[in-house]
C-alpha cells in the first residue's frame, strides 16, 4: 500500500476499556501507515486513557449515541480512505488491508465487512434473526441490499464520507449508511470477514428489542422520505379501499330505495375519499421534491474524485 495514501481508522467507543487496546494494536499492525482515531462517547471507564496509551489519537464526542459519533468523525477527519470498526475487538483487523486494496483497485465507494461469526457467543440471541429480517425488508423496500446491513466494519472512499448527510442518533446509523449507498447507486461490495466474541469484561451496548425497533423505524422513515409516491400511494389505496367497502352497501340501498339511511356512514366515506386523494397528491408532489433533492446529493457526491492509488492520480 502506498505511503502517500492517507488512511484513517475510525473507532467509536463507549466503555470499552477491556477491548480497546487490542483493537487499536490490531489495526496499527494491519495498517501501519494509517492513523487510528478513537472517539470516546462519554465513557465512564478508562477507555480514553488506554486508547491513548495504545497509540491512538483520542477525541471526545459529548452527544450520546453512535450516530452522533460517526457524524463527528466523518466531519472532522480528512483522509483518502476511511476504515470504520467498533472498539470491542470483535472485527478482524487483519482483513483491513484486503478491504482497502479492493476499494482502491475497483474504485468502490464502500466495502462492507460481512460478518462470519467464529463462536456462538459472537452474536447475541435474536441478532441473527433480526439482521436477516431487516436486511430482507431493506431489499424489498429499496430493490437491492447487502447481506449484513448492520455490520459496523466498513471501508469508505472520501467521496462517500464527505457526501453523507448523517442524521441518525444511535445504532441505526449502519442502516442509514446502507440506504445512502443504495439510493445514490454507488459502487459497493461485500467481503466476508471473521467476527469474534467480545473479550472477557467487555459488554455489548446493544438492546435487541429497543435498537431493533429503532432500526425498523429508521427504515420506515427513510422509505417515506425516499419513496414518497409508494408510501403515500399505499395509504391512499388503503383509505380508498375502506371507503369503497363502506360505500357499496349505501349504493345498493340507494339504488333500491332512493334513500341514504346511514347518513353518518356517507359522511365518513366522503372523508375517507378526500383523505385518499390528499395522500395521492402529497405523494406526487413529494416525489418531485425528492427527485430534485436526490440530484443535489448526487452532484455533491460527484464533487469528489473516485478513490484511487496516488500513482494513478
Q: In the 8-state DSSP scheme, what is residue 286?
A: H
Query: Of 180, 198, 226, which residue constitutes the final position of a domain?
Result: 226
E strand residue ranges, 4-121: 7-13, 35-40, 57-60, 81-84, 110-117
Residues 211 and 259 in one domain: no
Residue 313 is assigned to a structural domain of this protein: no
3-state DSSP call for residue 261? coil
Expressed in angstroms, the distance from the first to the final Cα of the chain is 15
Residues 101 and 112 in one domain: yes
Give dist(CA 253, CA 260) in Å, integer: 7
Query: Of 178, 204, 226, which residue constitutes the final position of a domain?
Result: 226
Residue 207 is assigned to a structural domain of this protein: yes
Residue 191 is assigned to a structural domain of this protein: yes
Give dist(CA 186, CA 144) in Å, integer: 12
**Which domain, by its residues, includes 51?**
7-226
Residue 2 is assigned to a structural domain of this protein: no
Over residues 21-30, the pLDDT tens digits come to 999 999 999 9
Residues 138 and 234 in one domain: no
Residues 184 and 251 in one domain: no
DSSP result, 152-173: --EEEEHHHHTT------STTH
Tell me what pLDDT residue 312 has. 52
Give dist(CA 144, CA 138) in Å, integer: 7
3-state DSSP call for residue 39? strand
Give dist(CA 135, CA 137) in Å, integer: 5
- Angle among Cα 151, 155, 157 to the nearest 5 degrees reads 135
Handedness of CA 61, 64, 69, 72 (dihedral sign): negative
Residues 76 and 175 in one domain: yes
Residue 30 is assigned to a structural domain of this protein: yes
Handedness of CA 48, 50, 51, 52 (dihedral sign): positive
User: What string of pLDDT tens digits covers the 313 residues of the chain?
Assistant: 556 789 999 999 999 998 999 999 999 999 999 999 999 999 999 999 999 999 999 999 999 988 899 999 999 999 999 999 999 889 999 999 999 999 999 999 999 999 887 654 445 555 666 677 777 777 777 777 788 888 899 999 999 999 998 777 666 788 889 888 888 889 999 999 999 887 766 566 555 566 567 667 767 777 787 788 988 999 999 999 999 998 888 887 877 787 777 778 888 889 999 999 999 999 999 999 988 888 888 888 888 888 887 765 4
Residues 147 and 73 in one domain: yes
Residues 55 and 132 in one domain: yes
Query: Of 201, 226, 251, which residue constitutes the final position of a domain?
Result: 226
Residues 240 and 253 in one domain: yes
Residues 217 and 108 in one domain: yes
3-state DSSP call for residue 74? helix
Residue 308 is assigned to a structural domain of this protein: no
Residue 155: partners with Cβ closer than 8 Å, 6 or more residues away: 81, 82, 83, 84, 96, 99, 100, 103, 110, 111, 113
Total number of domains constituting the chain = 2
Residues 156 and 288 in one domain: no
Residues 185 and 241 in one domain: no
Report residue 21 as a C-alpha cell.
487496546
Residue 25 is assigned to a structural domain of this protein: yes
| Angle of the 66-76 helix axis to the 173-183 helix axis, nearest 10 | 50
User: What's 188's domain CATH number?
Assistant: 3.90.550.10
Q: In the 8-state DSSP scheme, what is residue 6?
A: -
Residues 200 and 250 in one domain: no
Tell me what pLDDT residue 84 has. 96
Residue 310 is assigned to a structural domain of this protein: no
Amino acid at each position: 500500500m502506498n505511503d502517500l495514501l492517507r488512511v484513517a481508522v475510525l473507532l467509536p467507543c463507549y466503555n470499552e476499556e477491556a477491548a480497546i487496546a487490542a483493537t487499536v494494536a490490531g489495526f496499527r499492525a494491519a495498517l501501519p501507515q494509517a492513523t487510528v482515531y478513537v472517539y470516546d462517547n462519554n465513557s465512564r471507564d478508562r477507555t480514553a486513557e488506554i486508547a491513548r496509551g495504545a497509540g491512538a489519537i483520542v477525541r471526545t464526542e459529548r452527544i450520546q449515541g453512535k450516530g452522533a459519533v460517526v457524524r463527528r468523525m466523518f466531519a472532522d477527519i480528512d483522509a483518502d480512505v476511511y476504515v470504520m470498526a467498533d472498539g470491542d475487538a470483535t472485527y478482524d483487523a487483519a482483513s483491513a488491508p484486503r478491504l482497502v486494496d479492493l476499494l482502491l483497485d475497483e474504485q468502490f465507494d464502500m466495502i462492507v465487512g460481512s460478518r462470519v461469526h467464529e463462536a456462538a457467543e459472537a452474536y447475541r440471541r435474536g441478532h441473527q434473526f433480526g439482521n436477516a429480517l431487516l436486511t430482507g425488508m431493506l431489499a424489498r423496500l429499496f430493490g437491492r441490499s447487502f447481506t449484513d446491513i448492520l455490520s459496523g466494519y466498513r471501508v469508505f472512499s472520501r467521496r462517500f464520507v464527505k457526501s453523507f448527510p448523517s442524521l441518525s442518533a444511535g445504532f441505526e446509523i449502519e442502516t442509514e449508511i446502507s440506504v445512502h449507498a443504495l439510493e445514490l447507486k454507488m459502487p459497493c461490495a461485500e467481503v466476508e470477514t471473521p467476527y469474534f466474541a467480545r473479550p472477557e469484561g467487555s459488554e455489548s451496548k446493544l438492546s435487541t428489542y429497543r435498537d431493533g425497533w429503532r432500526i425498523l423505524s429508521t427504515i420506515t422513515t427513510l422509505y417515506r422520505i425516499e419513496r414518497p409516491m409508494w408510501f403515500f400511494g399505499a395509504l391512499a389505496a388503503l383509505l380508498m379501499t375502506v371507503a369503497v367497502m363502506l360505500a357499496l352497501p349505501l349504493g345498493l340501498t340507494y339504488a333500491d330505495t332512493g334513500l341514504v339511511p346511514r347518513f353518518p356512514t356517507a359522511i365518513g366515506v366522503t372523508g375517507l375519499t378526500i383523505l385518499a386523494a390528499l395522500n395521492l397528491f402529497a405523494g406526487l408532489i413529494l416525489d418531485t421534491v425528492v427527485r430534485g433533492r436526490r440530484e443535489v446529493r448526487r452532484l455533491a457526491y460527484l464533487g469528489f474524485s473516485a478513490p484511487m492509488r496516488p500513482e494513478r492520480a
